[in-house]
Structure 1
């Protein structure tokens, strides 16, 4: 082993340890790699930063924008409602439709976003049908993962292995190259879940509720209904003329101001509260109290306000302007360990945290000092425009649930046909091969923009930059391992151990190595590391590289075994009431089934 290879392996091992610890965050680790490789002399600066111009990275960014167009036009939500309607009262039909719908939608947009959209739909259907949500959440997450095995653009690992083929001077995969194998795995997944659901029946059974929760339902779920008040600001109130962030009403009095009703020229205007909102005499403050009995403490008199009648929830009254949404904290969230006060949600995102659920239970009061934990769900209130900005910000939190009122405020609902047209044009160009996949995706984005399905601001916000930086930072490792002989060393070890057993055994070995590595680090990073090994193994054996890199791509998506191996699994952990052992019990056998399908089917579609 030469010195440069030792340095490369040390950096790789350090990166994997940091990925597992998630400190610092993964995209920061990727940037450190970009700096460390040139400083150590393993790569030049140009080689280390080449990922920023890699077509696969730009393609992934464009696909985030395409997915945003499907959400802003309401297509994703309408698809979920259609599925719930068609399922009727049949649990079997519901599971089949759920997995087919999620897999189809996930084949052209982020599986994390798809699963986040469908969680509230599945919860409401489970309550209406009086069945445990645990029998549906696992099929939902598995379908999200299987969607990555259906098309070239379904998940970043597919694009990574495609780009590696192109870099080696070979023809890359086509749009539907994954589809024959992915469809078989999807059918196996549906059949497996129809059988395995009997092991998932211990969750809570809900009561009958409407198809999708309303804002009033969310308010009741988080115990807000008894704490809502309307308070008129008196002329002599000490609140007058001072911004809310100076008044400390939450910490001093347990009063959280959500919005302000202000009389202007014979009509009431609603102003969603921010830290800079300045109360004026006669304003009606829409507030959330830490306790329904707070008025008994004399707080109203002290701050110069008087109660005003509240006939129904102000969230329902002002639903066109004032929205509610649930957000979940994924395992890598930087908000874990911080209090709601420290997070400064209102100043950063112009949204108020009005509720907190932990382990399925709502915590009472305005919890300004409560320390957040991974897996918590927060209920936030604010304008629909500000709520929309939360979509796909999957680093610190994931937009988990939107109430039924979102149907009335989808920002580009009338543009849904144009979004479908743009998507069809993109897929048609990718399938035909008239232009490159990147050009097809960029044309789709331009069409979405020209039809006003998206805006420039929403397009930039929709791109998950940490994922792109992670890919850019891991790509130099593949080149460094090639230059220093690391790939040859790995291939030599594989051939020495399994070379005499035949290519199918090596195929299975690569699948297992990729799937196991993906339990600890990002599946994208796993694909970046394993794709060159697969190519070199095929070259050393003198066989076609396509079955080997296909096996790596499929294994990278086979993150079924633990709740932390994919954000998709983490999202359904709390709604399904699952434990770590549940994923092992259901995920390990299915991963072995996917391994069997891969070893049998891949060589038939892509001969050695």
Structure 2
């Protein structure tokens, strides 16, 4: 049996356990990584490589920076002000959070944006007496679709641009992605406001009570609130400015260290604020994603799907199929890997049809960011899993319809903005 087939079988087993939750998600992900080593899909030394991934470090740092806003009482203060401004209605709060998440993630890391807004959202939910499960998933989704708006909003956009350049073709402009990113964002918000909200669970967590108790013990020192807020703003600005030599994870960890050193929270509270389920879930799936790429399992799926289109498919069919394929892959593997795998294939097929590859490549990039149907498809989804008390199927229920909406909007808008045969 080839390594690619072994990897596909492993992916199917992992997907089954994710859906059924017969064992905890973090254990499934970690076991999947170990299986990659035992099956020889990856070298043994790479089995736990996910724990050293920079995104894991970013998670840990932003958990601490976010927790400082809770322990100083700043998140609650912001929550109370937002509730006073928007009222206590679920719809107005959901809309406000999605607008902010979309705007920030268009120029910042969607992971960093979600991590920064998570404590604020929790503070708002606590003040409004609304279960966090009603707000955190829409926030995570907004951070996902917001990244589509600019070239730097999400890695697949950069990969798409690079694929065109590598093929000797004109690349996308910085804000060119907004032609599809903004319509997808608007459609996504409308979907969540009118349909998606009915598919969200109402989870009353014991953790909510713990948060409320912590709010009454938490400091109300205005100086510490200002410090914690200033640290958060500084971290966001550093991430936005992309200062040479200062990575996202470095900014997050420096912010976390300053939070502890300035007394915004204690060392013990900093350790307790890290959601280890999120850490191990993401770290466990990283080696599985790598194995899909290295063994050729992902490429096998792509070639098989392309083969089903026949010898001379229309550009619209190619665009639709590659969008669907990219979207399916990104639910379980890195969106960066999905885009990197499919973009060269998309360019080759478009050239064979004498069509402009831009539409096909844009579809692949957008689809790679539509990782709404699983908690492991994109870091923002994983980030809200624990705090929202979500189960795997909660993402499937609320996210599948959103994926379909994005698919329809993309197939309408993309061929109009980037014609298959320009000038004809």
- TM-score bracket relative to the smaller structure: 0.5 to 0.7
Report the Cα distance in structure 1 between the residues aligned to 2:419 and 2:224, rounded to whole angstroms. Answer: 44
The corresponding residue for 1:556 is 371
Report the Cα distance in structure 1 between the residues aligned to 2:419 and 2:210, rounded to whole angstroms. Answer: 45
Q: Deviation of residue 60 (structure 1)?
A: 2.0
The corresponding residue for 2:342 is 537
The 1:25–1:3 alpha-carbon spacing in structure 2 relative to 1, beyond 3 Å, is: same
- Higher relative strand content: 1
The 1:402–1:424 alpha-carbon spacing in structure 2 relative to 1, beyond 3 Å, is: closer
Query: Contact 1:149–1:178 at 8 Å: present in 2 too?
Result: no
The corresponding residue for 2:75 is 76
Q: Deviations over 1:88-112 (max 9, x none)?
A: 5999766644644676799342776
- Higher relative helix content: 2
Is it true that 1:592 corresponds to 2:404 in the alignment?
yes
Query: Contact 2:79–2:125 at 8 Å: present in 1 too?
Result: no
The corresponding residue for 1:440 is 251
Query: Contact 1:111–1:144 at 8 Å: present in 2 too?
Result: no
The 1:178–1:69 alpha-carbon spacing in structure 2 relative to 1, beyond 3 Å, is: farther
Aligned pair partner of 2:270 in 459, 469, 488: 459
Report the Cα distance in structure 2 between the residues aligned to 1:456 and 1:604, rounded to whole angstroms. Answer: 54
Partner SS, residue 457 of structure 1: helix
Partner SS, residue 150 of structure 1: helix
Query: Contact 1:107–1:151 at 8 Å: present in 2 too?
Result: no
Residue-pair matches, total: 373
Report the Cα distance in structure 2 between the residues aligned to 1:103 and 1:401, rounded to whole angstroms. Answer: 30
The 1:399–1:72 alpha-carbon spacing in structure 2 relative to 1, beyond 3 Å, is: same
Q: Deviations over 1:481-533 (max 9, x none)?
A: 33332122112023223483435324531355258xx5xxxxxxx243x6434
Gaps of 5+ in 2: 105-111, 167-173, 348-356, 376-380
The 1:87–1:30 alpha-carbon spacing in structure 2 relative to 1, beyond 3 Å, is: closer
Q: Deviation of residue 571 (structure 1)?
A: 8.2
Report the Cα distance in structure 2 between the residues aligned to 1:188 and 1:486, rounded to whole angstroms. Answer: 33
Partner SS, residue 208 of structure 2: strand
TM-score (norm 1): 0.49
Q: Deviations over 1:394-442 (max 9, x none)?
A: xxxx436755993673476531222222222222222222122222222
Q: Deviation of residue 550 (structure 1)?
A: 3.9
Q: Deviation of residue 55 (structure 1)?
A: 1.6
The corresponding residue for 1:495 is 306
Instruction: Select the structure with the greater relative contact order (CA < 8 A; seq sep ≥ 6).
Output: 2
The corresponding residue for 1:257 is none
Q: Deviation of residue 462 (structure 1)?
A: 1.6
Query: Contact 2:339–2:365 at 8 Å: present in 1 too?
Result: no
Report the Cα distance in structure 2 between the residues aligned to 1:446 and 1:567, rounded to whole angstroms. Answer: 21
CA RMSD of aligned residues (A): 4.9
Q: Deviation of residue 40 (structure 1)?
A: 2.5
Q: Deviations over 1:341-386 (max 9, x none)?
A: xxxxxxxxxxxxxxxxxx9xxxxxxxxxxxxxxx5655xxxxxxxx
Larger Rg belongs to? 1
Is it true that 1:5 corresponds to 2:4 in the alignment?
yes
Report the Cα distance in structure 1 between the residues aligned to 2:30 and 2:94, rounded to whole angstroms. Answer: 42
1:202-601 pair list within 5 angstroms: 377-378=205-206, 398-399=207-208, 402-403=211-212, 406=215, 409-410=218-219, 414-434=223-243, 435-498=246-309, 500-502=313-315, 504-510=319-325, 512-514=327-329, 518=331, 526-528=332-334, 531-542=336-347, 547=362, 550-557=365-372, 590-599=402-411
Q: Deviation of residue 31 (structure 1)?
A: 2.8
TM-score (norm 2): 0.68
1:138-157 pair list within 5 angstroms: 141-150=137-146
The 1:399–1:101 alpha-carbon spacing in structure 2 relative to 1, beyond 3 Å, is: farther
